Structure 1
Amino acid sequence: MDNNNGAAPTGAIARFLNGIERVGNKLPDPAMIFLSAMLIIWVLSWLLSGISFDAIDPRTGETIIVNNLLTGDSLASFLSNMVVTFTSFAPLGVVLVAMLGVGVAEHSGYINTGIKLMLKRTPQFLLTPTIILIAIVSHTATDAGYVLVIPLAGVIYYAMGRHPLAGIAAAFAGVSGGFSANFIPSGIDPLLQSFTQSAAHIIEPGMQVNPLNNWFFTGISSVFIILLGWFITARIVEPRLQKTPVDGDTDDLPEFHEITGKEKKAFVISTLVMLAGIGVLIYASLGADSSLRHDGSLTSFQAPLMKSIVPLIFLLFWVPGAVYGFTAGTFKSSKDMIDAMSKAMHGMAYYIVMAFFCALFIAAFSQSNLGALLAIEGAQVLKAMALPSAVTIVGIIFLTAFVNLFVGSASAKWALLAPIFIPMLMQLGISPDLTQAAYRVGDSSSNIITPLMPYFPLVVVYCQKYVKGTGIGTLVAMMLPFSIAFLIGWSLFLLAYWWIGIPLGLQASYIYPAG
């Protein structure tokens, strides 16, 4: 496993990684997986529709009946409702609205300037934890961490006389390995929540899940991931890299450009505007008769504040982004701001295509009753095994981490797994909030060791600027200590968090039904 010369690992590790790459490359696109899954659901509904099952539907108290989706009436309904099924797909609007605001903040330069300012003013002793912190925060700007934080971390480490690959590894660990650790709400929160809520409706129609149901856990997890990532970087990764010579063309490395006075002024003004807006929001919500409350409560699902979380995320990025753009001069007219929003939507084109097929699959899975049948029968098997709830949760984490090696998209995986995991564990008395938290831990931990993750090859290229012989095996070997530590350590952290009884997030619970 020693890989000091930058060559790919040999032996069992190489065979294992090559096997994963071969299998992963044979998988179809996630959109086609959803289409294929929908067709399989149709066929299974036809085959099982004539079979009587003993499972009792908790929604009706009656025996589960599988609905045949290949009848004339079902197919006619499918075609006539296809557009509504797609446009009413909950994650679609949530993600697009949030990304419109993030696009303005990102393309105006507001986010980039903020990251550069934080990195440049950090003492060398705190460089690693600060990079991991900024990498975690960068999740709010979707791909900004991959295209900005990771390469800049390499530049800064090299400029400070430290091995640049250690900076890249720390940043990659924070951006991708710590994907579910963030104390700032982002678009991923309502995105996962929408899948969780849809899956929970299989057991309890009308059940509501708060978009910030994991916020407290992910916020506190960010501290844990920063400390653990700092330890792994300092004690394992960086000492090992000292034997790896920097033989790349450092003259061709990207320069760390100084932030101009105009950019600094624009950043300060836009941040103050953002803070002023947050202050106004807090003030407006203080009174018991505030229009943001429902019957005096801010956290009620009927409270306008709770219903406005996604629009507030939009404004949190759109307002300072627009102010920065016009103040710094990156926006010359309103057209530039609209172009920034358009660019953000260009990046969401693939997601929209995937959402179309995902919406159809989710609808078919729900209408067939196969989800309810699988959940109830699966719960019966788990109950018969009499496993402790903690063991079940750890099993969900490790299974998710394994699936993540082949299917990189967090939303694509959760769209497939939520209709199975959520109802099944609800039958075992485990809440959707806790199941979602377990999924997020598993989904993040193995991101950094799978070559099938879309940005993995890009990180290899970043490394090659410093060490010419860097390959996929090099990066996997460098990131494997982070992945193992995150998977085991974060799982134990979730169990300890659960045992102590700290709330997972807003209106979240550990048990179902909530007591």
Structure 2
Amino acid sequence: MSTSTPAPPGTSGTPGSPGENSEPRLPLIIRAMGVIERAGNALPHPFWLFWILSGILAVVSAVLAAADVSVVSPADDKTVVVQNLLSGDGLAMAVSTMIENFATFPPMATIVVVIMGVAVAERSGFLAALMRVGVSRVPASWVVFAVAFAGTVAHVASAAAYIILVPLGGLAFRAVGKSPILGIVVAYTAIASGYDASPLPTPNDAIFAGITTAAAQIVGGDDAYVSPLSNWFFNIASSLLLAIVITLVTKYVLSKRPDLDADPDAELDDLGRLTLSDRERSALRRAVGTLLAAVVVMTALLLPTSSPLRGDGGSIVESPFLDGIAAVVAFLFGLVGIVYGLRSGSIKKAADVPRLMAEGIKQMAPVLVLFFAIAQFLAYFDWTHMGDVLAVKAAEALQSSGLPIVVVFLLILLLLTLVNVMVTSGSAMWALAAPVLVPMLMLVSVPAETTQALFRIADSGSTAITPMSPYFIMALGFLQRYRKSAGIGTLASYTLPLAVAMTVAWTLLFLAWWAMGIPLGPGAPVR
């Protein structure tokens, strides 16, 4: 004998409507995430995507060259003609410059140097210890802000930030009597949707600055240069703002949800992981003390106007110090990592240091492989002069349209945010967008550093809600330790309010920054 379950209120068994024998209709957010996931999975790997785009670029350049498309460069009033990448000259250029394109790709050397230093700090255990102490020694009322702000600081560890801080977020919340599920969500969203808002210089700063420099040189010539610290002031303010927004949305929205309890049979972690051993605490104190001493020494070296680290006329903005800031950052990370490792025991002999550096480079190998394809695409794009044509034509269209520049900013932000849902690699997306957006806005008097700051918002905001990010799946795995039934839609529904609020608040901060004309970083005017 069989029994039937009554249909939910508002449903019936009529054709075309969900009845008692039909599957329940999935919530909109889950269906939307499913569409995004399927569409994103259909995209090729970014490495092949750039080679496909290079092929498309070659065909388009041939068509435009045949049509004698040209523009007059506002930089020097010379006529710039599109060159055919499929011509003999184009083929010769592509073959003869392939190695040079890769070797001189702006982010290449910078990111390798920075990663070597960061790798020592991360793999010695320094960064993990810093995060653990940061989220464990705060009052219960401050734990949300502490985890959120730690998420922005954690970006110095690149991808390791997810592995270290997301589970720690669950532990920290549970330690003060809050939902560990909420802790997982807060930590993951702070890292993912605030990824480009770190108060400390990160490897991403070096990557973005290199790509922006290459794009700026399309119309600004070889002298155009964007420093890894070009958005530093804006990043510091952004990290504080986003931590506050996460705290408020968590308190007034997410904490009101009825589904925050962990499964009764969930295997909870040992709270001891939040604490440091006596040896680790001693190592951390020594490392932080060494860092402060190094900063004091560097400051003392920079104070005299005649310092060799200053530029002409005693300038700090245009100086050897800022020119070599990537090496300075790498040195500081490496120094504290060595001091921590020697005291904690993670570094036992001198040979361990280069080994840790090599492990860091090994972790970056997929990015370096992607750089090879990106470097060729950008070189081809520059050689064809299509960047000049697009930039000038788009700038002329902007000027004739009469659109306020703020409206242009919002349209660009919306477009990049939608693209970021599909192309979650920040370096890949910026390599696609920068050669067009940076020169275009430079021609209407918007500095390259400002366009890069705008990109940061789009590159981060939607990352926490897209299942295309591998770290989304990683965070889901941590979440399922507390709730086995959690799926893609579950995590997305938790992160969506946070991601939307963060994007809106961050955009408003950018517009206010622009309106007030505050420099984005050392020597980087916003307009």
* TM band (smaller chain): over 0.9
Quote the residue 1:407 is aligned against.
423
1:205-224 correspondence runs (5 A): 205=221, 206-224=223-241
Preserved contact between residue 394 and residue 438 of structure 1 (Cα < 8 Å) = no
Count of residues in Structure 1 that have an aligned counterpart in Structure 2 = 502
1:359-508 to 2 correspondence within 5 Å? 359-508=375-524
Q: Give secondary structure in 2 for the equivalent of 1:250.
A: coil
Partner residue in 2 for 1:292: 309
TM superposition outliers: structure 1 runs of 4+ over 4 Å: none
The equivalent of 2:19 in structure 1 is none
What is the TM-score with the length of structure 1 in the denominator? 0.94
| Counterpart in the other structure of 2:5 | none
**In structure 2, C-alpha distance between the alignment counterparts of 1:438 and 1:427, rounded to whole Å:** 17
Q: Give the aligned residue type for 1:129.
A: F
Partner residue, 1:204? 220
Aligned twin of 1:122: 138
Residue of structure 2 equivalent to 1:171: 187
Q: Are residue 281 (structure 1) and residue 303 (structure 2) matched?
A: no
Answering whether residue 242 of structure 2 is matched by residue 237 of structure 1, we say no
In 2 relative to 1, CA 296–254 (structure 1 residues): closer, same or farther, beyond 3 Å?
Answer: farther
Give 3-state SS (helix, strand or coil) of 2:422's partner: coil
- Does residue 323 of the first structure (1) align with residue 339 of the second (2)? yes
The Cα offsets for residues 425-450 of structure 1, whole Å up to 9 and x where unpaired, read as: 11222111111111101111101000
**Which blocks of at least 5 consecutive residues in structure 2 are unaligned?**
1-23
SS of match in other structure, 1:36: helix
Conservation of the 8 A alpha-carbon contact between 2:124 and 2:338: yes
More deviation, 167-176/73-82: 73-82
Q: Counterpart of 1:333?
A: 349
Match of 1:55 in 2: 71
For residue 34 of structure 2, what is the aligned residue in structure 1? 18
Cα-to-partner distance string for 1:67-123 (whole Å, 9 max, x where unaligned): 112222331232122111111111111111100001000110111111111222110
- The residue number in structure 2 matching 1:190 is 206
Q: Does 1:310 align with 2:319?
A: no
Contact 1:94–1:190 (CA under 8 A) maintained in structure 2: yes
1:337-378 deviation line (CA, Å, top 9, x unaligned): 222112111111100110000000000000000111111111
Name the Cα RMSD after superposition. Answer: 1.6
Cα distance in 1 for residues equivalent to 2:511 and 2:384: 35
- Does the 8 Å contact 1:290/1:296 carry over to 2? no
Structure 2 residue identity aligned to 1:97: V
What is the deviation of 1:383? 2.0
Distance in 1 between the 2:280 and 2:129 partners?
7
Alpha-carbon distance in structure 1 between the residues aligned to 2:444 and 2:313 = 34
Counterpart in 2 of 1:5?
A: none
User: Retained in 2: the 8 A contact 1:197–1:208?
Assistant: yes
Given the alignment, which residue of 117, 120, 126 partners 1:101?
Answer: 117
Q: 1:316 Cα deviation (Å)?
A: 1.3
Aligned identity (percent) is 33
Shift of 1:510: 2.9
User: Is 2:82 aligned against 1:66?
Assistant: yes
Aligned partner of residue 201 in structure 1, secondary structure: helix
Query: Residues 449 and 483 of structure 1 are in contact (CA less than 8 Å); yes or no, is this contact kept in structure 2?
Result: yes
1:413 positional shift: 0.6
Aligned to 1:3: none
- Confirm or deny: 8 A CA contact 1:248 1:467 kept in the other structure: no
Which secondary structure does the structure 1 equivalent of 2:483 belong to?
coil
The Cα shift of 1:54 comes to: 5.6
Gaps of 5+ in 1: 1-7
Deviation (angstroms), 1:502: 1.7
Rounded to whole Å, the distance in 2 between the matches of 1:509 and 1:365 is 28
Between the aligned partners of 1:183 and 1:156, the Cα distance in structure 2 is: 22
What residue in structure 2 maps to residue 85 of structure 1? 101
Partner SS state of residue 49, structure 1: helix
1:4 equivalent in structure 2:
none
Q: Which residue number in structure 2 is paired with residue 136 of structure 1? A: 152
Contact between 1:9 and 1:474, CA under 8 Å: does it hold in 2? Answer: no
For the residues of structure 2 that align with 1:248 and 1:284, how far apart are their CA atoms? 59
Q: Is the 2:70–2:82 Cα contact (8 Å) retained in structure 1?
A: no
Secondary structure of 1:251's aligned partner: coil
CA separation in 2, counterparts of 1:262 and 1:428?
57
User: Quick check: 1:43 aligned with 2:74?
Assistant: no
Tell me if the contact between 1:100 and 1:318 (Cα under 8 Å) persists in the aligned partners: yes
- Matched residue of 1:55: which SS? strand
Shift of 1:252: 5.0
What residue number does 2:10 align with? Answer: none
1:225-264 map, 5 Å: 225-240=242-257, 242-247=258-263, 249-251=265-267, 253=269, 255-257=271-273, 258-264=275-281
| TM-score, normalization by structure 2 | 0.92
Deviation at 1:255, TM superposition (A): 4.5
State the Cα deviation string for residues 168-208 of structure 1 (Å, max 9, x = none): 11111211111122221122112111111111111110212
1:248 deviates by 5.9
Displacement of 1:212:
1.2
| 183-192 or 456-465, larger mean C-alpha shift | 183-192
1:92, 1:355 within 8 Å by CA — same for their partners in 2?
yes
In the alignment, is the contact (CA less than 8 A) between 2:216 and 2:224 conserved in 1? yes
CA distance in 2, matches of 1:164, 1:11: 24
Residues 120, 338 of structure 2: 8 Å contact kept: yes
